[in-house]
């Protein structure tokens, strides 16, 4: 698992190291369309039909043959076509057909002239503008051609895709079963919310962040609660997670001091690497395999736990779930104030991005200590500062990554 004897490992290197080992673990199952929201497609969707399925009118107006308009005389109305009620009667020369939006265009029609460009009179309809061939006609297959690939395997279905699938008449889809992830927090000092604190205790906050992020990813969570720093309790929790879940995420207990202890246990049960990441916050990180489940050990500091989940664990879980993972959007912005930074680690500072007079500008949320939760809760983006960069002066350009689904 790449134990790296104290050397700092870049985020990218750690991510690629993990992804190289991970594959989709989730079998395919068929679900009815309304239940497919947030599920991951297990195969490509090919269009079973053409959309639209027939040439139809894009406007309310009149279907015409261009030859009939050449004389410039008004055209009597031969019939009416409504959405769902095609006109299939006679269409004599020198006539037009009243047509409504979505109605099938009668065979032979060259264009639909919108109502606003016509005038109705005693002798029929006068056309005020000269239509071109094809005007206001939505062609069969113009949106989706029959047999074409509409959606790709690995896509997580959002409200944007469900109506598309419905338009193709697809009633059920093949999706991956949800990934199941066990979580627990470690630390003798941790107490669950709702109980009183003794001196030296703090509330376990990480589990609520990790659970929430799993839920945003559509992942099933097995919450094993708080496990004390006790070998027997930890061993039992590791084993239960290994039996019942695809992956285990813990927070705390991977930094120097405690690591030896967890490390011993994990090395006995599986194959785990303890990494020192060249990122701030979030230096200690563990990754590896129990007999059945994958293991991700996040740092205990609350902000570090959230950031390492977002940047490292999220893409890894997506891989296990069979989901395509798109790298988050990164933009350039002007630092609206100086930013503290020392060379050596890539910083994920928490910032507030806004539109300024000279384009995007970003300021810090204040103390960037990895224990200061308000630095995260007030932020709407990361300020991603390069590993070797030093302090940033006001007005310099920096890279920002707006928070996306997971942290919003
Ligand atoms: P550790 O990685 O276990 O050494 O923890 C580092 C710091 O994070 C310590 O101050 C812990 O008290 C704190 N911490 C660890 N786990 C949690 C948690 N679940 N919720 C809040 N703080 C935590
Ligand atoms: Mg601890």
Domain check: are 36 and 164 in the same one?
Answer: yes
Domain check: are 191 and 169 in the same one?
Answer: no
Q: Tell me the average confidence (pLDDT) per consecutive run of 10 residues in the chain, 408 residues long.
A: 70 96 98 97 97 96 97 96 97 98 98 97 95 97 95 97 95 98 96 97 97 97 95 95 98 76 86 93 94 96 96 98 95 98 97 97 95 92 98 98 92
Domain check: are 347 and 359 in the same one?
Answer: yes
pLDDT of residue 123: 96
Domain check: are 66 and 85 in the same one?
Answer: yes
Residue 132 burial (10 A CB sphere; 0-12, 13-18, 19+):
exposed
Range of the domain at 161: 32-50+144-176
Cα separation, 65 vs 312, whole angstroms: 62
| Pocket lining: 250 vs ligand 1, CB cutoff 6 Å | no
Domain check: are 198 and 310 in the same one?
Answer: yes
| Pocket lining: 190 vs ligand 1, CB cutoff 6 Å | yes
Give the distance (Å) from ligand 2 centre to CA of residue 189. Answer: 8
Give the distance (Å) from ligand 1 centre to CA of residue 186. Answer: 8
Q: Which of 59, 62, 65 is nearest to 77 (CA)?
A: 62
Domain check: are 82 and 124 in the same one?
Answer: yes
Q: What are phi and psi of 256, to 5 degrees?
A: -60, 145
Question: Among 288, 321, 354, which residue terminates a domain?
Answer: 321
Q: What is the largest CA-CA distance in the chain?
A: 96
Residue 2 lies in a domain: no
Residue 132 lies in a domain: yes
Residues near 210 by beta carbon (within 8 Å), at least 6 away in sequence:
183, 249, 251, 298, 305, 309
| DSSP codes, 109-169 | --EEEEGGGEEEETTEEEE-S-PPTTTTEEPTTSSB-TT-EEE-TTPBP-TTTHHHHHHTT
Question: Among 120, 138, 156, which residue terminates a domain?
Answer: 138
pLDDT of residue 258: 61
Domain total of the chain: 4
Domain check: are 383 and 340 in the same one?
Answer: yes
Domain check: are 37 and 159 in the same one?
Answer: yes
Domain check: are 391 and 263 in the same one?
Answer: no
Residue 398 lies in a domain: yes
Is-contact 14 287, C-beta < 8 A? yes
Is-contact 183 250, C-beta < 8 A? yes
Which ligand gives the minimal distance to the CA of 306? 1
pTM over 0.95: no
Overall size of the chain counted in residues: 408
CATH code at position 379 = 2.40.340.10
List, as ranges, residues with CB under 5 A of the ion ligand 2. Answer: 187, 252-253, 300
| Pocket lining: 106 vs ligand 1, CB cutoff 6 Å | no
| Pocket lining: 185 vs ligand 1, CB cutoff 6 Å | yes
Which ligand gives the minimal distance to the CA of 252? 1
């Amino acid at each position: 698992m790449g134990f790296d004897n104290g050397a700092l490992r870049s985020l990218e290197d750690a991510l690629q190291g993990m992804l190289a080992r991970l594959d989709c673990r989730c079998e395919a199952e068929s679900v009815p369309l309304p239940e497919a929201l947030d599920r991951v497609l297990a195969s490509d969707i090919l269009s079973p039909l053409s959309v639209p399925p027939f040439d139809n009118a894009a406007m309310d107006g009149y279907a015409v043959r261009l030859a009939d308009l050449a004389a410039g005389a008004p055209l009597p109305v031969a019939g009416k076509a409504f959405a769902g009620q095609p006109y299939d009667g006679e269409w004599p020369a020198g006539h037009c057909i009243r047509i409504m939006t979505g109605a099938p265009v009668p065979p032979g029609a060259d264009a639909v002239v919108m109502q606003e460009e016509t005038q109705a009179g005693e002798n029929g309809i006068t056309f005020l503008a000269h239509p071109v061939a094809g005007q206001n006609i939505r062609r069969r297959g113009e949106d989706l051609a029959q047999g074409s690939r509409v959606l790709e395997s690995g896509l997580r279905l959002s409200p944007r895709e469900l109506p598309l699938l419905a338009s193709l008449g697809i009633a059920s889809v093949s999706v991956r079963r949800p990934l199941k992830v066990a979580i627990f927090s470690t630390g003798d000092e941790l107490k669950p919310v709702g109980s009183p604190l003794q001196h030296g205790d703090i509330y376990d906050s990480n589990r609520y962040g990790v659970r929430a992020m799993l839920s945003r990813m559509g992942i099933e969570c097995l919450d094993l609660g708080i496990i004390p720093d006790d070998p027997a309790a930890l061993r039992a929790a590791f084993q239960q997670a290994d039996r019942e879940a695809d992956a285990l995420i813990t927070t705390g207990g991977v930094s120097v001091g405690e690591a030896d202890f967890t490390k011993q246990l994990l090395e006995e049960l599986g194959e785990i690497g303890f990494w020192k990441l060249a990122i701030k916050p979030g230096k200690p990180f563990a990754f590896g395999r129990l007999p059945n489940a994958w293991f991700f050990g996040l740092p205990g500091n609350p902000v570090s736990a959230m950031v390492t989940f977002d940047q490292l664990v999220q893409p890894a879980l997506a891989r296990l779930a069979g989901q395509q993972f798109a790298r988050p959007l990164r933009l350039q912005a002007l630092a609206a104030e100086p930013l503290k930074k020392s060379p050596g680690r890539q910083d994920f500072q928490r910032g507030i991005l806004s539109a300024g007079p000279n384009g995007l500008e970003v300021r810090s949320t204040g103390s960037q200590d990895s224990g200061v939760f308000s630095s995260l809760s007030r932020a709407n983006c990361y300020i991603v500062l390069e590993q070797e960069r030093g302090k940033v002066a006001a007005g310099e350009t920096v890279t920002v990554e707006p928070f996306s689904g997971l942290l919003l």
